[in-house]
């Protein structure tokens, strides 16, 4: 009468353990993405403190968040290391040219907000994932460039 009960219990236990492991994996991915977004916000703030414009700050932040940016959408067909593309991406002068060099799935849903006063630059980087999660990174760095540079036409 009790034949098969152990197999059913084993299947249920395997399903439960698999679910727990998948949740732990997803949580660790989200935690790593948050760390990368904090780093990317710091790179965007650092770019502002040395006098770069908003577009260069966004490119710096995007390059720093590559590990959390999802799948590479351009260039396709290459499975090599993209570190050789990053300098060309950072040197691009327009958004279209930058997109033609390097692009990732989550870069379209990424927004960099920069706020600054006389001595501080605050950066906030917001990224929306495919699952609908909003993730953000924040950084604050002292700004010394306004003391030495004239920021006209930002």
Task: Encode the chain (154 residues) as per-residue pLDDT tens digits.
Answer: 677 889 999 999 999 999 999 999 989 988 999 999 999 999 999 998 888 899 999 999 999 999 998 888 988 876 667 788 999 999 999 999 999 999 998 898 889 999 887 778 888 888 887 778 888 899 999 887 667 766 554 5
The answer to whether residue 92 is domain-embedded is yes
Q: Based on the structure, what is the number of domains in the chain? A: 1
Structural domain harbouring 106: 34-148
Closest CA to 70 of 115, 124, 117, 135: 135
- Taking only the tens place, the pLDDT of each residue in 7-42 is 999 999 999 999 999 999 989 988 999 999 999 999
Q: What's the pLDDT score for residue 83?
A: 82
| Beta-carbon contacts of residue 137 (< 8 Å; ≥ 6 apart) | 34, 36, 37, 38, 39, 40, 41, 42, 65, 124, 125
The answer to whether residue 85 is domain-embedded is yes
The answer to whether residue 14 is domain-embedded is no
Look up the CATH number of the domain holding residue 107.
Answer: 3.30.1300
Beta bridge partners of 140: 122
The whole-model pTM stands at 0.81
């Amino acid at each position: 009468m009790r034949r098969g009960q152990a197999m059913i219990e084993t299947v249920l236990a395997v399903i439960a353990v698999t679910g727990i492991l998948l949740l732990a994996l997803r949580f660790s991915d989200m935690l790593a993405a948050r760390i990368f977004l904090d780093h990317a916000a710091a790179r965007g703030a650092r770019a502002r403190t040395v006098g770069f414009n908003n577009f260069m700050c966004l490119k710096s932040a995007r390059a720093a968040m590559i590990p959390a940016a999802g799948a590479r959408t351009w260039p396709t067909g290459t499975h090599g290391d993209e570190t050789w593309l990053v300098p060309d991406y950072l040197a691009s002068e327009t958004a279209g040219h930058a997109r033609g060099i390097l692009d990732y799935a989550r870069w379209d849903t990424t927004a960099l907000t920069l706020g600054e006063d006389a001595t501080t630059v605050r950066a906030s980087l917001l990224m929306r994932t495919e699952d609908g999660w909003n993730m953000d990174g924040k950084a604050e760095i002292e700004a010394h460039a306004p003391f030495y540079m004239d920021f006209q036409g930002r």
